[in-house]
Amino acid sequence: MGLITQEEAKNYLRVDAADDDALIAQLTEAAEALALDVARLNESEAAAVEADASDEAAFAAACTAAGITEREATEYRAVLRTAVFYTLGYLYEHREEADHRDLTLTLRSLLFSIREGRPAT
């Protein structure tokens, strides 16, 4: 499912044309992977956060499998979406001269509430 859609990504970046669709899709995928890594979520936790909350049974099952509450998954999703939008914007605007160290430090700050208490992987 992903944390943000292509349409949301293009709206955030204020891109109307389809010229950069492939680039935006690639950067969105990279931004999501980086945010999940910095947040220190494992595969089952990431699946719960990305699960469709409108399908209550599937969402509850994903959260149970991940060992997190539905409230935690919903809160994590909100924070991670913000981090993905930030990362996507940064990567898109600075694709020639990105400072990945600075980006990672900012992500650590954005994702602190999720990272706290999680062992580094």
Q: Which residues contact 62 (CB under 8 A, 6 or more apart)?
A: 44, 47, 48, 51, 73
Neighbours of 14 (CB within 10 A): 7
Q: Which amino acid appears at position 116 of this protein?
A: E
Helix (H, G, I), strand (E, B) or coil at 34: helix
DSSP state of 56: H
pLDDT along the chain (121 residues), means of 10: 92 94 96 95 94 93 95 94 97 91 94 76 55
Please tell me the predicted confidence (pLDDT) of residue 109.
Answer: 94
Question: If 0-12 CB within 10 Å is exposed, 13-18 middle and 19+ buried, where does residue 36 land?
Answer: buried
Please tell me the predicted confidence (pLDDT) of residue 118.
Answer: 60
Helix (H, G, I), strand (E, B) or coil at 18: coil
